[in-house]
Structure 1
Amino acid sequence: LGCPGLRPYRRNKPVSESNPANNTSSGTEKRDIKVIVNEGAAKRANMTLPPTPVEKPGYVYVALYDYTARTEHDLSFNAGDKLEPLRKEEDWWYARGITGISANKEGYIPANYVAPIESLDAEPWYFPETKRLEAEKMLTSQKNKNGAFLIRNCESQQGELSLSVLDNGKVKHYKIRKLENGGYFVSKTRSFFTLRDLVEHYSRNEDGLCVCLTHGLSYNTVDHWEISRSSLKLLKKLGAGQFGEVFEGIWNDRTAVAVKTLKTGTMDPKDFLREAQIMKKLRHARLIQLYAVCTTEEPIYIITELMSHGSLQEYLQKDKGASLQMSDQIEMGAQVTSGMAYLELQNYIHRDLAARNVLVGDNNVCKVADFGLARMENENVYEAKEGTKFPVKWTAPEAIHENKFTIKSDVWSFGILLYEIVMFGQMPYPNMTNFQVVQQLPKGYRMPCPLNCPKYLYDIMSECWKDSPADRPTFETLQWKLEDFFDMDLSSYDDANRY
C-alpha cells in the first residue's frame, strides 16, 4: 500500500452479532424521518463497550465522561466524580457514588467510563489523542498560566509521546522517549520509571526545560473552541450547498483549514452549530476533526482540518484506476469502517454515509465527514423540515418505506459506498431511476457483482444489503472482514485490479 502504517487498528473478531440495531442532487421529498430507539442499546447485556479497566480491588475510580442513567437501576455521574465499585459484572459494574451528583447512591455504571485514580487516563495532563495544533490552541487559552502543560501522542513518530508546555505565551514541544526497559526521558541525562515521576520531577526543577511544569490545563480549556475571525483568511471556495459554503482557508497564517459557513437567514444557527457540538464529542482518527468555531457574528464558521484531495467520490472519479489498485480501494473501505465502528460504539448514526461524505488526504487517508445529520440512536423522533431530501440510492429499504433509521441502515449505505469505491465513483444502480430503485428493492433486487470485483468483496456488499436490519453485520465485523483481505493470497487478484 502507499502508506502501510495507515491500516486501521485490528479488533478481535466478535463472537456474535449482538447489536441489532442530502447532499445528493437526486432526492425525494421526505415528510418525516423517525429515528427508532435501539432497544438493544438500552440494555446492558447487548451493549458493546471497550475493554474494561484492569481490576484493582479496593481502588476508587474517577469518571472520565458524563453518564445519564438509562434505567432505574443505573447510576448517573459527571466527569470527575469519584465512585467505588462494589460488584463487577463484565462490562457493567455495580458502584457507589463517593462525590458528585450520585454521592452515597448505588447503581450500575458502564465500566469503560471510569478509570482507577492511579491510572494515566485519570491524569488531568494526559491527552493522548490531541494533535500538536490543538494542543497549542488549548494551552494558549487566556485561562492558562505560564507552565501549563499536557502530554500527548507524537504525530510524527508513532508510539512516541510529546510534552507541550506554555512558556510566555508560546508553546514549546519536547519529545518524550521510551527506554527499552519501559522508562521515559526527555534528556538522556535523566530517566524516569513512570510518566508521573517525570512530571513530578519537572514540576520541581526546570532541569533543561524552558520552564517548570507548574499548572495543568485550566478547567474547561478543552471546550474552548471560539477563535477570533481575524485569525482566518478564506482563500478559495471548495463547494456550496443549500445552507452555506465551504472554503479552503489559513488559520494564524500557518495552518491550512476547511471553513464551513452558514448563509444568514437560511437556518437556525443552533441547528448549524449542532454539527460542531457533535464533533466535539466524537473524536477518532477516521472522523474529520473540529478545530474551532466563530459564532460571535454572522456568518457563523465551523473550522475543521483540511483534506487535500477533497471528497472520496471526486477522488475516485479522477483516478479511474490510473493508480489505485484493488488493495488501495479495500484499504479505503476499511478506514471508513474504522470511523463508523467508533460511531457505532458511541451509539450514533450518520444517516448520510456515501463517498461524497468521506474526505481524502495524502497517502489515501480517508475520514468520514458531514455530521450535520448525525443523531444519537436512542433519540426518539427527528422531524425533517418540509422539503428535506434524502439520497434514495444510498438509503436502506426500511428507511425509505418506514422512515426507520438505525446504525443498520448506515450499514446498508456502507454497502453502496463500497460499490462506489470498486466502481471508481460511478452512480449506484446505473440506468435505474430513484423510483425504479424504490420499487425493485422490496422485490429482492440487488446490484450484481461489478466486473472484476473479487467475490469476497461482493459478498461483504451483499451482507450489508440483507432485508432484515438485524441480519446485517456490525461495522466492527465489517472492519475485520476488510482487513482480513490483507492476510489473503493476493496473487489471484493481480490481473483484476483495473477497469
Structure 2
Amino acid sequence: MGNSCQKSCACLQSYMPWIFKACDCESKPTTPPEPTGPEPPPDQPPRIFVALFDYQARTDEDLSFQAGDKLEILDTSQESWWIARLLVKNGFARPGQNVQGYVPANYVAPYQSMEAEPWFFGPIKRADAEKQLLYPDNQEGAFLIRESESQRGEFSLSVWDGDAVKHYRIRRKDSGGFFVTSRKAFPTLNELVKHYSSSSDGLCIKLGKPCIKIEVPAPYDLSYQTVDQWEIDRNSLQLLKRLGSGQFGEVWEGLWNNTTPVAIKTLKPGSMDPADFLREAQIMKNLRHPKLIQLYAVCTLEDPIYIITELMRYGSLLEYLQNDGGSRIHLQQQVDMAAQVASGMAYLESQNYIHRDLAARNVLVGDHNVYKVADFGLARVFKLENENVYEAKHETKLPVKWTAPEAIRLNKFSIKSDVWSFGILLFEIITYGKMPYAGLMGFQVLQKLDQGYRIPQPANCPQELYNIMLQCWNAEPKERPTFETLQWRLEDYYDMDSTAYADASTFVR
C-alpha cells in the first residue's frame, strides 16, 4: 500500500495556514472532485482509512485533514495520490474545507489496522527507535512497537524509562497470541499494549504515551498533477531565499503554488543539455527512499533549468559540519550521519544506480537530524569543458580528491567507485568538514595513491571507523565493501547484539 514506504523530512504543514472562506462555521463544504476510478463493489464494505499525520491541501482539488481523521477511500488508481472522502461528524466539515479530494497515499492507513496505531513504527532499526524515543518532547514511559530486525514476523517493544531506552522482544505463541514473558500472553498486540499501559508487570516502567512521530513523510510528488507531467510552469514558483551556490548554479528555498515549501536548484545556462537531463531525471524521479532527496518537478523549456526537490532547511552537510566544529555534534551523531547516508546509497546500489559525486556537499540536512543524499545522477549529465583530470586547473570539474582512481584514469564509474567516495565522506564527517589530502594538488593525490598512500587516521577517529575508511579505499574495487554492509556496520556500531534486549522475566514485579 501507499503507506509502506514512509519518508523522513521536515514537517510542511506548519508553514501553510488554513484557508477560510467567508462563511459561517457550519457552512457546507465546497464541491469535491469526482472519482476517476471505480467505486468499491456494493458487496464490499467501505474502504475506511485513518490519517496518520496532518496534511494541508496544496491545490484546490486536494483534501486537508488532521491526524486521526477517518477517510473513505474512493479511488486508488494512482499509486501515490488517492481520492478520499472525509467522514465528518453531523455532516459538517471544518470551515471552508472540502470533504472530498486527493490525499497522499503514504499519509493514511486502513482503519483498525496495526499500521494505524500511533505506537506502531513499522520496520525501523533499533538505533532509530532509540533516537526517536530520546526526542525531548517524549515523556517517561514513551514507547513504540517495531518489526523485529532479526526475527522475521516478530516484533520488538522499545520503551524509555526516563534514564535509558530498553528493548523487549515480543514473541508469538505456537497456538497464537503475543508475549513479552511466557507467563502471560495476549491475543493481539493491542491487548498487550493495554495491559502494560495499566501495569508495568515486569517491564522497567508502565507504558505511557506512544512515541512522538517526529519524521513526517514527504508526499512522493508535489501533487497528483505532477505524477506524470512534472514539467511545471516556472511562474508557479517563488524564489524566497538563496541557500547556497556552486559551480553549476544556485540553490534556493522557494514556494510552489503559494502553498508548498520546496528547494529549487537553478542551473547556469549551458551547464547541461535539457534532453540528456530529462532522460536522467526520469530515472531520478522514480528513485524513492527516506534517505534520498525526492525530485518533484523540473522547468527545462528555457534557461535557467530549474530542478525542484523537497526542502531540507539546514543546507549541506559540509557547511553543517564546518559551522559546528565539534561543539554539539559528537561521535554518536557522526556515526548516525554516516549510517543514514549508507542507507540511501544501499538503496541506489539495489537499483543498480551510481551517484558519481558522493561528498558531504551533496548530502543535505533536515529537521530532527535527518540526512539525505542529493544530486545523485547529475554528474553524468553536466557538460564538462575538459575532463583531463591530470590538469589541476580542471580539478573542480571532476572532484579528484573524492573520486576513485579507476574512475579518474579509466572513466570506470561503478557503485564501488561510490564506495571509495563514501570513505572520503567519512573523513569529512569525522573531521568536521576538513579538505581531504590537505596541501596536495589533484595530480599529486593520484601519484601518491598509486604508491599505496592513504589519508592518515585523523586524531579524533576511532580505529574501527578508520578501518572502514581503509576498506572503502581498497585499490581493488571488488574488495571494497557493499553499501549494504557499510549500512549495517554503522547502524550496529554501538553494540547491537541480542544482549541489548531486556528480559521482562528478570524484573521484580
What are the Cα deviations for residues 43-88 of structure 1, in whole angstroms up to 9, with x where unaligned? Answer: xxxxxxxxxxxxxxxxxxxxxxxxxxxxxxxxxxxxxxxxxxxxxx
**What does residue 280 of structure 1 align with?**
285
Tell me if the contact between 1:313 and 1:356 (Cα under 8 Å) persists in the aligned partners. yes
The DSSP-based 3-state class of the residue aligned with 2:453 is coil
How far did residue 364 of structure 1 move?
A: 2.3
Q: Look up the equivalent residue of 1:368 and give its one-letter code.
A: V
- Is 1:463 the counterpart of 2:460? The answer is no
1:322-333 to 2 correspondences below 5 Å = 322-333=327-338
What percentage of residue pairs aligned between the two structures are identical? 58
**What does residue 19 of structure 1 align with?**
none
- Is 1:402 the counterpart of 2:401? The answer is no
**What does residue 290 of structure 1 align with?**
295
Name whichever of 243-252 and 436-445 sits farther off: 243-252
**What does residue 146 of structure 1 align with?**
34
- Is 1:172 the counterpart of 2:171? The answer is no
Tell me if the contact between 2:358 and 2:421 (Cα under 8 Å) persists in the aligned partners. yes
How far did residue 454 of structure 1 move?
A: 0.9
**What does residue 421 of structure 1 align with?**
429
Residue 458 of structure 2 is aligned with which of 450, 456, 467? Answer: 450
What are the Cα deviations for residues 196-254 of structure 1, in whole angstroms up to 9, with x where unaligned? Answer: xxxxxx88998868657899999996223233323221123233344433222122334
Q: Look up the equivalent residue of 1:403 and give its one-letter code.
A: N
| Distance in structure 2 (CA, Å) of the matches to 1:243 and 1:236 | 18
| Distance in structure 1 (CA, Å) of the matches to 2:102 and 2:252 | 40
How far did residue 300 of structure 1 move?
A: 2.9
The DSSP-based 3-state class of the residue aligned with 2:276 is helix
Tell me if the contact between 1:278 and 1:371 (Cα under 8 Å) persists in the aligned partners. no
- Structure-2 change in CA distance of 1:303 and 1:126 (3 Å): same
Tell me if the contact between 1:314 and 1:356 (Cα under 8 Å) persists in the aligned partners. yes
How far did residue 288 of structure 1 move?
A: 0.9
Tell me if the contact between 2:285 and 2:296 (Cα under 8 Å) persists in the aligned partners. no
**What does residue 23 of structure 1 align with?**
none
The DSSP-based 3-state class of the residue aligned with 2:364 is strand
Tell me if the contact between 2:63 and 2:103 (Cα under 8 Å) persists in the aligned partners. no
- Structure-2 change in CA distance of 1:204 and 1:267 (3 Å): closer
Tell me if the contact between 2:53 and 2:67 (Cα under 8 Å) persists in the aligned partners. no
- Structure-2 change in CA distance of 1:204 and 1:482 (3 Å): closer
| Distance in structure 1 (CA, Å) of the matches to 2:487 and 2:50 | 24
How far did residue 362 of structure 1 move?
A: 2.1
- Unaligned 5+ segments in structure 2 are 14-31, 38-46, 73-83, 106-222, 388-396, 498-509
How far did residue 334 of structure 1 move?
A: 0.3
**What does residue 13 of structure 1 align with?**
none
**What does residue 387 of structure 1 align with?**
386
1:204-219 to 2 correspondences below 5 Å = 211=99
**What does residue 249 of structure 1 align with?**
254
| Distance in structure 1 (CA, Å) of the matches to 2:435 and 2:301 | 40
Tell me if the contact between 2:52 and 2:68 (Cα under 8 Å) persists in the aligned partners. no
The DSSP-based 3-state class of the residue aligned with 1:487 is coil
Calculate the TM-score normalised by the size of structure 1.
0.56
| Distance in structure 1 (CA, Å) of the matches to 2:356 and 2:63 | 39
Question: Cα RMSD (Å) of the superposition?
Answer: 4.1
Number of positions where the alignment pairs a residue of Structure 1 with one of Structure 2: 327
The DSSP-based 3-state class of the residue aligned with 1:303 is strand
Q: Look up the equivalent residue of 1:391 and give its one-letter code.
A: P
Tell me if the contact between 2:296 and 2:308 (Cα under 8 Å) persists in the aligned partners. yes
1:154-165 to 2 correspondences below 5 Å = 156=53
Tell me if the contact between 1:259 and 1:304 (Cα under 8 Å) persists in the aligned partners. yes
**What does residue 444 of structure 2 align with?**
436
Q: Look up the equivalent residue of 1:418 and give its one-letter code.
A: L
| Distance in structure 2 (CA, Å) of the matches to 1:464 and 1:394 | 12
